[in-house]
Structure 1
Amino acid sequence: MRTIRVTGRGSVSVKPDTTCLKITFEGVYKDYEETVKQSAEKTKILREAIEKSGLHGEDLKTKDFSIESVYESYRDYNDDYKRRFVGYKFHHRTEIQFPNDNKILGRILYELSVCSVKVEFSIGYTVKDKDAVKKEVIKRAVENSREKAEILATAAGVILEEIQSIDYSWGEIEIRTSPVDMFEVKSCKMESSYDIDIEPDDIDVADTVTILWEIK
Structure 2
Amino acid sequence: MNEKLITVTGKGCIHAVPDVTRLELTLQSIHDTYEDAYAQAKSNTNSLSKIMKEVKLETTLPKTIRLDIDKKTQNEYDKFGHYKSDKFIGFKLDHKIKIDLGMDNVLLNKIVKLIGKYLKQAEINIGYTVRDPRPSQLKMLERAVKDAKEKATIMAEACGCKLGLVKDINYSVQEVHIYSQARMIHGADEALCCNEESLDITPDDLAVSDEVTVVWYLSNNVKE
TM more than 0.5: yes
Query: 5+ residue gaps in structure 1?
Result: none
* Equivalent residue in structure 1 for 2:8, among 6, 9, 12: 6
Unaligned runs of 5+ in 2: 220-224
* Structure 2 counterpart of 1:122: 125
AA aligned to 1:150 is T
Mapped contact 2:117–2:192 kept (Cα < 8 A): no
Q: TM-score, normalised by structure 1?
A: 0.90
DSSP-derived class of the 1:215 partner: strand
- Name which of 37, 40, 43 aligns with 1:41: 43
Seen in structure 2, the aligned counterparts of structure 1 residues 57 and 18 have a Cα distance that, compared at 3 Å, is same
Judged with a 3 Å threshold, the aligned counterparts in structure 2 of structure 1 residues 175 and 89 are, in CA distance, closer, same or farther, namely same
Task: Count residues in correspondence.
Answer: 215
Is the contact between residue 116 and residue 192 of structure 2 (CA under 8 Å) also seen in structure 1? yes
Q: What is the one-letter code of the residue matched to 1:111?
A: L
Runs of 4+ in 1 over 6 A off after TM superposition: 75-80
Q: How well do the aligned residues superpose, as a CA RMSD in angstroms? A: 2.3
* Counterparts of 1:38 and 1:161, CA distance in 2: 64
Displacement of 1:79 in angstroms is 9.6
**1:105 has 2:101 as partner:** no
1:31-110 pair list within 5 angstroms: 31-72=33-74, 82-110=85-113
1:174 aligns with 2:177: yes
Provide the TM-score with structure 2 as the length reference: 0.87
Asked if the contact 1:110/1:194 (under 8 Å) is kept, the reply is no
**Local SS of the residue matching 1:58:** coil
**8 Å contact from structure 1 (residues 138, 207) kept in 2:** yes
User: Structure 1's 200 and 185: CA in aligned 2 closer, same or farther, altered over 3 A?
Assistant: farther
Instruction: Give % identity.
Output: 29
Q: How many angstroms apart in 2 are the aligned matches of 1:19 and 1:116?
A: 20
Mark the CA change 1:75 to 1:152 in structure 2 (over 3 Å): closer, same or farther: closer
Query: Deviation of residue 75 (structure 1)?
Result: 7.0
Q: What displacement does 1:31 show?
A: 2.0
